[in-house]
Amino acid sequence: MPSPYRALFAAPGSKGFAAAGFIGRLPLSMMGIGVVTMISQLTGRYGLAGALSATIALSAALIGPQISRLVDQYGQRRVTRPATLVSLAAAAGLLLAASLRWPDWVLFVCAAGIGSVPSVGAMVRARWAALYRGTPQLHTAYSFESVVDEVCFIFGPIVSIGLSTAWFPAAGPLLAACFLAIGVFWLTAQHSTEPEPHPRKQYGGGSALRSGGLQVLVVTFVATGAIFGAVDVVTVAFADEQGHKSAASVVLALYAAGSCTAGIVYGLLRFSGPPARRWLLGICMMAVSMIPLLLVGNLPFLAVALFVAGLSIAPTMITTMALVEEHVPRAQLTEGMTWVSTGLAIGVALGSSVAGWVIDEAGARAGYGVAAVSGAAAVAVGFLGYRRLNRPVPGRGGSVEQHNEHEERHMA
């Protein structure tokens, strides 16, 4: 590992929360695709599989920011453990209902309950921000976390799809639930690196989403999430059509590997100039990379196209987190980061659901059109909101006290 990354772990406790965060985030890449694989094996209905995966993502999008707001106010341990228990109970219900062929509505109720899972990635990034705020190491830390995200997306689908196809259909989602329990409870057991909670009275309440810059990021990432959701579902279906369904995990892993490679390199670089410009360039590159998918005719070509497409993901996500810190108060950082994940989750819900319907009606290759249209929408929103992102916002990213002083001067 290059020296800038090694230097991150000089801080006491950093290795522990980074490791726990890795395990706790594996379910993010395993649960949705595991449910798609499980349901498609048990019923052969990709529309139902995509709709259930979308329900999980949409539920997380609605519940996640509320959980993170409570985390900012009361601390990670007090909030995330009960939320995780609810999610685990719902996951157990979904696996049981699917195996016993219970009515579809039961599956959807359980899928909605899984959405109470806390945002482990946002909590880990908040710990890095507490350690390195205002230093160059924070850029490296965010880059490292984006690489961890992509490593999860490399190995998560391989393990989830592989177990569900080679062992029994529910094996992938079951292991995802186990990883969630281990990761969250290990992370919240580490008190020394947990950010201090900020009671609501310290920043006047309200949602971090009042920030205009954050609104642009969230809406853009709805379209970006639709790309990810569509690519996941369509790739599984395309591999199935080619007679190699289990190969979908390897192809999706190459998608994540491209992002991981770019993230490692990006973390070693130092940039000048406004991050909003780099962010917009990343959004454009993601959109353009969807065009070759419309021409795929076999799995090797698809694998190469997805690897190239993945090169723009991690740099865009790293810059996004830097922009979140610029546009929300420190006391609401976990919530602000979760809103970005919420935008992605809503997009994944839309993308996977629409793609599943397109697959059922027109075949797998046509499903990649959903990803291409979503990329074009992301570019349009990014250009329309660019001025908001490029506008400096006083009092953002500073201490709670600095933010309060800014608010008091404004009120005076």
Report whether 396 contacts 406 (CB < 8 A): no
Question: How high is the pLDDT of residue 267?
Answer: 78
Amino acid occupying residue 323: L
Question: How high is the pLDDT of residue 93?
Answer: 94
What is the C-alpha separation between 37 and 152, in angstroms, rounded? Answer: 18
What distance lies between CA 215 and its chain's CA centroid?
17
Per the domain annotation, does 82 fall within a domain? yes
Question: How high is the pLDDT of residue 405?
Answer: 32
Q: Give the chain's domain count.
A: 1
* DSSP assigned state of 135: S
Per the domain annotation, does 242 fall within a domain? yes
Per the domain annotation, does 201 fall within a domain? no
What is the C-alpha separation between 357 and 230, in angstroms, rounded? Answer: 11
Per the domain annotation, does 292 fall within a domain? yes
Question: How high is the pLDDT of residue 343?
Answer: 83
Question: How high is the pLDDT of residue 337?
Answer: 83
What is the C-alpha separation between 382 and 386, in angstroms, rounded? Answer: 6
Report whether 347 contacts 226 (CB < 8 A): yes
Place of tokens 């909003």: 276
What is the C-alpha separation between 187 and 117, in angstroms, rounded? Answer: 14
Report whether 335 contacts 68 (CB < 8 A): yes
Per the domain annotation, does 197 fall within a domain? no
Per the domain annotation, does 199 fall within a domain? no
Amino acid occupying residue 59: S
- Domain of residue 24: give its range: 3-191+207-411
What is the C-alpha separation between 113 and 63, in angstroms, rounded? Answer: 10
Residue 363: CATH number of its domain: 1.20.1250.20
**Mean pLDDT of each 10-residue bin along the chain, 412 residues long:** 74 91 88 84 81 83 86 88 94 91 91 90 89 82 84 77 84 92 94 81 62 86 89 86 80 85 82 82 93 87 92 88 80 81 79 85 85 94 86 48 32 30
Q: What is the largest CA-CA distance in the chain?
A: 69
Report whether 211 contacts 338 (CB < 8 A): no
What is the C-alpha separation between 103 and 107, in angstroms, rounded? Answer: 7
Report whether 235 contacts 251 (CB < 8 A): yes
Q: Give me the numbers of helices (H) and strands (E) for the chain, helices first please.
A: 17, 0
Tokens found for residue 135: 């230093």
Phi, psi dihedrals of residue 13, rounded to the nearest 5°: 85, -10
- Give the DSSP letter string of 192-235: TTSPPP--GGGTT---GGG-HHHHHHHHHHHHHHHHHHHHHHHH
Tokens found for residue 133: 């705020």
Question: How high is the pLDDT of residue 402?
Answer: 33
What is this structure's pTM? 0.75
Per the domain annotation, does 202 fall within a domain? no
Nearest 5°: the CA angle 130, 136, 140 is 80
Report whether 68 contacts 334 (CB < 8 A): yes
- Give the DSSP letter string of 125-158: HHHHHHHHTTSTHHHHHHHHHHHHHHHHHHHHHH
Per the domain annotation, does 283 fall within a domain? yes
Question: How high is the pLDDT of residue 411?
Answer: 29
